[in-house]
Each structure stands twice: as C-alpha cells, then as structure tokens.
Amino acid sequence: MSRKTNLIPLLIVVGLIVSTASGAAEPNVPDVQTIVTKANIMAYYQGDDGKAKVRMTITTKSGQTREREFIILRKDVADGGDQNYFVYFQRPADVRQMVYMVKKHAGANEDDDRWLFLPALNLVRRIAAGDKRTSFVGSDFVYEDVSGRSLDLDTHELIETTPERFIVKNVPKNPDQVEFSYYNVAIDRKTYMPMKMEYFDKEGKLYRTIESTEVKEIDGFPTVTKSVVTDLKTGGKTEMAFNDVQYNIGIGDIFEERYLQGPPREATR
C-alpha cells in the first residue's frame, strides 16, 4: 500500500521530464510567452479594425432558448494593447437600438471605460467598471471572453504539445479575483488560433469549456465564425455565430457620444 503511494510523486516527475523533453525535442516550439502573445493577437487583434454580425443563442438546461443579435465594431488603438468596441443591438426587441461602448484598457490593473445608450430615454449612461467575469448580456459568455483577458493577469505554462496544438495552462496571479483556479487553452500550431479553453474550479474540476467550432479564412485572416461555451455546472450553453465578418474597413473615430446617440452607418447594417 505504502509502496503504491510512493510511486505517485515519481510518476509525476517522470511525466514532467517526458513532457518537457517532448517539448524540447520539437525544433519549432517557441517559448510560451510567444505562443500566448500570438494567440491573443489572433483571437482579438486581427487587422486594425473589424466588424461582425453576431447571433447568440442561449440555451438553458431545460432547452429554453433566448437570442441576441448585435453588430460589433472593433478598432485597435495598439496591437495587443488598448481597443475600442461598439456594440449595436438588434434583437431582442426590448433592447433594439441600444448601444454598448467599451474603451478597453489592456493594463492588468486598469479598468475599462464603458457607456450604454438607452434609445427610449435618449440617455447616455456611464457604467461603472464591473467584474469582467460576469455574464455578457445574460449569456454563458463573460465580458472577458468577448473582449479578451489581459495576459499579465496569469502565469502561462506550456504543458503539452501535440502535432496540431499547443496546450497552455494559465494560472491567475490573483486567484481571489476569479472563479477558476486555472484554465487550459489549446492553440492551433499553424494559425495560433485558440481552439478550446477549459476552465477548472477551485476544487480542480472542469466546469466550463469554450470551443471554436468553425474557423474560416476571411480577408486572409483565420477567423472563428462559430464558438460554443458550455457551462457544465448549470447545464447551459451559448452558441455565438459571426456573420459578414470584415477586416480593415477603415472605422473612424466613432467611439464618442455623438455616435452613441446617432450610430454610424457601419454599425447599423
């Protein structure tokens, strides 16, 4: 009995040596910082700007569905750094023509600036910086999934290399701020596109996954056109489909109050 238990640390050590060796044995494996930096650019910073029509389908455990439709415009201030987002809602009817605007600050301890425009009241409201791990418009996606999580918030470790993917383990530097203990990201070795994310809770149990289920090349940029988040605890899932994706369309200075009250043409169709 005692022998068996003694074997476990040994196995772990061997496993570590093997996995490190397999990593080292590959001639073209960049260091983990390069991998996560490239993956971050791939997922959130392609081109100087971008536009997509997004359709979200939220499905509860019992099978009830809700839909969200919005047009999202993004413009980078700096690659891998600050960005601006403009989200124009089309459905459901009660949030139609509402606009959500974010000036994202990429610094680890910098809060984003956020605005909401409520058309019925013609009201431009400033929203307090929020917990980025809260649900985005009632879906299983959280704010951070939509606009990215600062790389500086986690430590990164390349834990596995397969012929197709790098598996990177990300551990939060400040565990009190998040609901997970760590998450693994499977990154496509060719494109550096994050293909699957797995979140583990404080007990080390897998409770949430995000998968890129469809990737297409658009304007020369590999683009996730469908992704699904599954919450294993609640049994809910949300599918997000991106249509009419465009890059480098020359989005101007639309991230201002003027365009909250009167959205620019590119935001509305």
Partner 1 sequence: MRLSRQVSTAALLFAAACSGVVTGQDEQEKPNPIKAWLDEHAIEYHGFYEARAGYRLQNDLYEKDMSIMEARYQFDLFSMREWGDVKVKGDVYADGVEEKGVFDLREANLFGRPSDFMDVKLGRQILTWGTGDLIFINDLFPKDWQSFFIGRDTEYLKAPSDAVKVSLFYDWANLDIVYTPEFDSDRFISGERLSYWNPALGRRAGLDSPLGTQGRHDFFEDDEIALRLYKNISNYELALYTYWGYWKSPGGFDPTMSYAIFPPLHVYGASARGTVGKGIGNVEIGYYDSTDDRSGTNPLINNSEMRYLIGYTQEIGRDFTAGVQYYVEQMLDYGSYEGSLPRGAPKRDEFRHLTTLRLTKLLMNQNLRLSLFTYYSPSDEDVYLRPIANYKASDNLALEIGANIFGGDEPYTFFNQFEKNTNLYTAIRYSF
In angstroms, how far is CA 186 from the centroid of its own chain? 13
Residues 202-221 that bind partner 1 (CB under 8 A): none
Regarding 138 and contact with partner 1 (CB under 8 A), the answer is yes
Dihedral pair phi/psi, residue 100, rounded to 5° = -120, 125
**Is the Cβ of residue 96 or residue 226 nearer to partner 1 in the bound state?**
96
**Is the Cβ of residue 99 or residue 137 nearer to partner 1 in the bound state?**
137
- List the one residue out of 113, 119, 103 whose CA is nearest residue 255: 103
Regarding 256 and contact with partner 1 (CB under 8 A), the answer is yes
Burial class (CB in 10 A: 0-12, 13-18, 19+), 109: exposed
Residues 78-97 that bind partner 1 (CB under 8 A): 91-94, 96-97
**Is the Cβ of residue 202 or residue 258 nearer to partner 1 in the bound state?**
258
Regarding 265 and contact with partner 1 (CB under 8 A), the answer is yes
Regarding 108 and contact with partner 1 (CB under 8 A), the answer is no
Structure tokens at 193: 């596109």
Residues 49-68 that bind partner 1 (CB under 8 A): 58, 60, 64, 66-67
CA–CA separation, 18 vs 12, rounded Å?
10
Regarding 127 and contact with partner 1 (CB under 8 A), the answer is yes
Count of C-beta atoms within a 10 Å radius of residue 177: 11
**Is the Cβ of residue 8 or residue 128 nearer to partner 1 in the bound state?**
128
